[in-house]
Chain A
Amino acid sequence: MYKKLSFVIAVIMIAAMILAACGTSTSGEVTAADCGKEGVFCVGLVTDVGKVDDKSFNQTAWEGVQLAKTNGDVDWIQYIETVDSKDYDKNISTFADGGYNAIVTVGFNLTEPTYAAAMKYPNVKFIGIDQFLSKDDTHPDWPLANLVSISYNEDQSAFLVGALGAMMSKTHKLGAVCGTDAVPPVWRYGEGYKAGAAYADAKMGTTTEVTVVYHSDVGFDKTFTDPTWGADTANSMIDKGADVIFGCGGKTGNGAVDAAANRGVYAIGVDTDQYYTLPEAAARMLSSAMKPETEPVAAVLKLTADGNFPAGGIYMGPSGYAPYHDLASEVPANVDSEMQAIQKGLNDGSIKTDVPPVKPSE
């Protein structure tokens, strides 16, 4: 028995050594061991509970880090995938203790651990994604000199697709199926959508009826993960005549987008260009309200590596709308040029959405 065992082990060791030899990198390349040395810029990324290939937030953030590496702005990148929320602190400090210069933390749930780590490691730069902080009793020292949150004007992205929907609708009825409005970005999406439709009405002389439904009747664990409710709500909107459906809120919104595509009306996605992430709805995907992560993450990393870390606590990411893809032939030229004009107006400030950052309390 022991003979056999040692034989098995020997075979495996040899196999592993051969494989290891193949994988050994040539000398001169930067490795993790160089982090903390002068002139080497290392970036670590900590995911929320999830993977770097989740086709969502974790993935696009990691792509941003990879882009910074490809551009040559940073020397070494590495990620840690969180498996349990009690490991947030440990995962962040693994990078900080390893001499990393900048740490990207992805997702709302890492807000507090990131703030705490930024206080503990003043020499490390922290970049939080989807984390909302302001000066208050629990964060008296905000903004910190080494912590920045990448934020977005969701209302502007939704304003664009709202205007597009209003110009494309034949029934002049738009629907939006969203997660809970207790999350400020979701509320900004919903309000921006309405404001965009109203802007298009004023421009085109139409009257569009906009229905925005938030899934606020359930808990936070369900509100973004309820595609059945999303589909049902979208279907009832379509039954009432809506021919453009904006799905804004994780899987709940995806359910609405799928339902819209099934019924053959226009579907509008959210956050990323969902033409790619929801292939079953791609044929009816008019556009998506974009909140691109990849480029801003790479941009902030470049600033950080150059010694121009964006202070002030917040870095505004760009807003925009996704291409029409398969439906490009259905979008009239005047609508397309109007869309470009609105995008330009939002960028230079001549058009305002008039949506406040958070929902005014009743």
Chain B
Amino acid sequence: VKRLKELLNSLLVPLLAIVTAIIIGGIVIAVVGGNPFAAYLGLAQGAFGSAKALSETAVWATPYIFAGLAVALAFKGGLFNIGGEGQLAVGAVVSALIGYALPEWLHTSIPWFIHLPLTVGLGVLGGAIWGAIPGALKAYTGGHEVINTIMMNYIALNLTSFLLNGPMRDPNPLNLSAKTPDIAVSARIPPIFPGLRVHWGFVLALLMSVFIWWLLQKTTLGFEIRTVGANPDAAKYAGINVKWNIILTMGISGALAGLAGVIEVTALNYRHELGFSLGYGFDAIAIALLGKNNPYGVVLAAILFGAMRNGGTRMQFLTQIPVDIISVIQALILLFVAADAIIRFIYRIRPGEERLVLTRGWGG
């Protein structure tokens, strides 16, 4: 009973943040001349109203779960990974390359049980390296990961732009856009049900959240990550290799973000093109915050964000209310979760838990 109460307590602020954001969003809709009830009904129908709607919500939620887990894990280790966007792009580019080019290089088709793991594995490795570099910079030079992950984003996005316009561009003369050729069938993750786009990547995302929870709560490594996050000085005194731990945390975080890109390529788009993944890496920060950095919380937050993004289409179709309202609601949720004092003030909730340390200053 005590644990249940604790659980409810920890859920209270995020839930009230969502409710408050939806209410204010409703007022905004009413002010611009729409009917908030019709709008939210459309949103719910579009997100959950049919098998197809559920499938599309899962499709949207999948990259959010992976990227949200990436940010949450880094937060647990006291690191603020803003580089999800870049790590995601690297994962996507590498897996697209292995997906379409490996059979060409070997001049033969490859069975899926070799090609698919290679495609996914190398893509994840790419994301991991992209995350570990700012980790190493932090560990050995004290360079702040917030700055360095943002820098790495620019490098990754411009590198992607170069590769997709140059060496990796689909050579088909009819192709006018910056995209790779389609990946081989042997590198594709299939849909779960015929006719619906929801794919096994979604299941993998759910399993991954269990794995990350287990990693953080039940293993020595997870304990070390959390200890370094809570107090690096104490961790060092306790004999934990703090430098190595920072690199490892950023590496795992980068691998998870990379996996978000890998799954989009191997399970959904079957190629990588510019313009895909606009802001998943940044939405992931909001999702990690809303999920309180708890892997299961991240899954719930990711499904909520995915549902809003997906349901927005039907909302606009039924009511012609601009889809921007979704961004307004998401921003409000983020505002209320980050500045939870507002929610605590409105609903008179006493601060119960200790504050979460999200990141530290220079060299901390």
Contacts and interface: CB of A to CB of B under 8 A. Distances in A.
Partners in one complex: yes
Interface of A: 1, 4-5, 8-9, 12, 15-16, 19-20, 23, 32, 49, 51, 78-81, 83-87, 90-91, 94-95, 98, 108-109, 136, 138, 182-183, 218-222
Contacts of A219: 161-162, 164-166, 178, 274
A136 B23 contact: no
The range of chain B's interface size is 35 or more
A5 B317 contact: no
Contacts, number: 95
B310 to A, nearest CB: 8
A221 B165 contact: yes
A220 B274 CA distance: 9
Contacts of B346: 4
12 contacts: A1-B347, A4-B348, A12-B27, A19-B33, A80-B313, A84-B276, A85-B275, A86-B276, A108-B177, A138-B174, A219-B164, A222-B161
A90 B165 contact: no
B313 A91 contact: yes
B268 interface: yes
Contact of A83 (B30, B276, B309, B314): B309
Nearest to A51: B322
Contacts of B166: 219
B265 to A, nearest CB: 12
B35 interface: yes
Contacts of B59: 86
Q: For chain B, what secondary structure do more than half of its interface residues adopt (helix, strand, loop), or is it mixed?
A: helix
Contacts of A4: 346-348
B323 interface: yes
A20 B162 contact: no
Nearest to B16: A5
B238 interface: no
Interface string B345-361: 01111000000000000
Contact of B37 (A16, A81, A109): A16
A94 B314 contact: yes
B312 interface: yes
B66 to A, nearest CB: 15
A262 B35 CA distance: 47
Contacts of A220: 165, 176-178, 274
A220 B317 CA distance: 31
B26 interface: yes
A49 B177 CA distance: 15
B38 interface: yes
Contacts of A138: 174
Given A15-B30, A85-B273, A91-B313, 16 more contacts: A5-B347, A9-B23, A15-B27, A20-B35, A23-B35, A49-B278, A51-B322, A80-B313, A80-B317, A86-B59, A90-B313, A136-B174, A182-B176, A183-B176, A219-B178, A220-B178
